Amino acid sequence: MAIDIKNIADLLKKQVADAQLSNQIVDVGEVVFSGDGIIKVKGLTNVKYYEVLSIQNGASAIALNLEENEVGAVVLDDDGSICQGMTVKTTGRLMSVPVGDALLGRIVDPLGNPLDGKGNINTNKYREIEVPSASIMDRSPVSQPLQTGLISIDSMIPIGRGQRELIIGDRQTGKTAIAIDTIINQKDKNVICVYVAIGQKSSTVNDVAHKLEAYGALDYSIIVSATAKDSAPLQYIAPYSGCSMAEEFMYNGKDVLIVYDDLSKHAVAYRTLSLLLKRPAGREAYPGDIFYLHSRLLERSVKLCDALGGGSITALPIVETQAGDISAYIPTNVISITDGQIYLETELFNAGTRPAVNVGLSVSRVGGSAQIKAMRSVAGTLRLDLAQYRELAVFTQFGSDLDNVTKAVLTHGEKLTELLKQPQYRPIPVAKQVVMLYVISLPALVAISKKHITKYFEEFLKYVEETNPAVYADIDNTKLLSEENKKWLGEAAESFTKSFLEKI
């Protein structure tokens, strides 16, 4: 057979032209130290900050310390088999997690692996866990409310979509309870919820999952869990992973609520990492970039402008204080990053005021503009009334002779306090909250004593629902409490009070 040189040359030329050469340079290094979830690697000269490294045993690590002779990295899925001399390769990628609808209703670890035994997560969409937040021009002001269903919060510390509201308080003061109630209240409201558990007991996370499932809230929620038994690196990346999962929905025009429970433990995990990496320690032994750790996370919660779909991420970070000290390092940091805080107090909690919100120390810096008009009109003086009541209550503790005005302020304050108490897992729709707050100040209510307030409103709300449900529908549709409805409520309260007093 004759060999056609021209043909061969053409074939070769074509192959050369079609050849796809990847220009990725893979660096290969060697583990020189491994322990406590940290490895030191020699020989990686072209590694990038935050790049994912692939270790010989299949584990992956993130390069955090780039030093002259070696690289310090944190191992994410350490199974204890890493040893000196193993090869480590750079991958050219940053850490990413699976995102998308497939995650809804699932419990995953910070790497996106399922923890709930419901099979694989079928998605081919991934997002990097550390991305810059939306730019200034991409944002729009907070203008829509995000109802928590808790009357004390929706009336006085309103939260808007895209806001970051800190929940702060000592241990066992109902911090998680507020976050869970808010998630439950998003049912049928077209809000996706992400609950990130950091450094908690596995049993607590299990409880949360069961409660969400029982109240039908798991379908629109994702739980990202790095429990106390997980390594510090996993706990460290958990909130960023959760945030990326939330961002996927936000950039598709959806509203998302994300809860970080809690950032104190997150800071501790990061401190552990930093000390193991031998970074210099600062105040309370936290590293110097501890502020940036939380600010870059919380800055990713935004309300996007309409051109980008108008989605939002509302963040409820939780911080635990020691003996009510909100001036400690982490609490002050996070207070200054967020748009307000809900401060919970042990004394109030123990005295039976639950949710134990200290109204005086709690604020919402942007949510007011997102509150519906009807709520603003009935809750306008609530904060002041309560402050006045508390002040007088302190002064009159020992006195016996009180004038009528003082007595009226005191009894009204007591009733308001009673009204703001709310059991767990029982969110109240905003229309009902408006009716409650309007009716409590009516003259007809003077005859009702403090101990009957809860029962009174339970029955009154039902009475309105049965006789004139249009009141609720009106508030929901127009966002206003019309004069007509006010008049009707006034008359209804009068006649209802009469029959109520006869019954008890």
Active site residues: 365
**Which of Mg ion, ligand ATP, none has residue 174 at its interface (CB below 5 to 8 Å by kind)?**
ligand ATP
**How many CA atoms lie within 13 Å of 468's alpha carbon, on the beta-carbon side?**
16
Q: Is position 227 an interface residue for Mg ion (rule: CB under 5 A)? A: no
Instruction: Restricting to residues 137-166, name those near Mg ion by CB under 5 A.
Output: none
Closest distance between ligand ATP and the C-beta of residue 322, in Å?
11
Of the candidate residues 165, 248, 320, 339, the single one contacting ligand ATP (CB under 6 A): 320
Q: Is position 241 an interface residue for ligand ATP (rule: CB under 6 A)? A: no
Closest distance between Mg ion and the C-beta of residue 338, in Å?
18
Q: Pick from 248, 245, 273: which is nearest to 260 by CA?
A: 245
Of the candidate residues 90, 148, 155, 176, the single one contacting ligand ATP (CB under 6 A): 176
Is there a contact between 241 and 224 (Cβ–Cβ < 8 Å)?
A: yes
In the complex with Mg ion, the residue whose CB is nearer, 134 or 259, is 259
Task: List residues bridging with 225 in a β-sheet.
Answer: 197
**Binding span for ligand ATP by CB under 6 A among 242-250, 281-289, 396-404, 419-427:** 419-427
Q: Is position 266 an interface residue for ligand ATP (rule: CB under 6 A)? A: no
Q: Is position 177 an interface residue for ligand ATP (rule: CB under 6 A)? A: yes
Query: Which amino acid type is present at position 96?
Result: S
Closest distance between Mg ion and the C-beta of residue 197, in Å?
9
Instruction: Restricting to residues 174-203, name those near Mg ion by CB under 5 A.
Output: 176
In the complex with ligand ATP, the residue whose CB is nearer, 396 or 424, is 424
Question: What is d(CA 190, CA 194) in angstroms, rounded to the nearest whole number?
Answer: 13
- CA 207 from chain centre, in angstroms, equals 17
Cis peptide before 469 (omega within 30 of 0): no
3-state secondary structure of 449: coil
Q: Is position 301 an interface residue for ligand ATP (rule: CB under 6 A)? A: no
3-state helix/strand/coil string of 48-74: CCCEEEEECCCCEEEEEEECCCEEEEE
Q: Is position 171 an interface residue for ligand ATP (rule: CB under 6 A)? A: yes
Residues 6+ apart with CB under 8 A from 430: 145, 147, 154, 372, 375, 475, 476
**Binding span for ligand ATP by CB under 6 A among 53-61, 100-108, 165-173, 236-244:** 165-173
In the complex with ligand ATP, the residue whose CB is nearer, 89 or 421, is 421
Of the candidate residues 175, 265, 271, 415, the single one contacting ligand ATP (CB under 6 A): 175
In the complex with ligand ATP, the residue whose CB is nearer, 227 or 485, is 227
Of the candidate residues 81, 143, 172, 478, the single one contacting ligand ATP (CB under 6 A): 172
Closest distance between ligand ATP and the C-beta of residue 455, in Å?
17
Closest distance between ligand ATP and the C-beta of residue 418, in Å?
14
Question: What is d(CA 386, CA 358) in angstroms, rounded to the nearest whole number?
Answer: 11
Distances (CA, A) of 478 to 33, 125, 432: 65, 40, 14
Q: Pick from 137, 132, 141, 179: which is nearest to 365 by CA?
A: 141
Give me the sign of the Cα torsion angle 243, 247, 248, 250: positive
- Residues that bind Mg ion in the complex, under the rule CB under 5 A: 176
- Residues that bind ligand ATP in the complex, under the rule CB under 6 A: 169, 171-177, 320, 354-355, 422-424
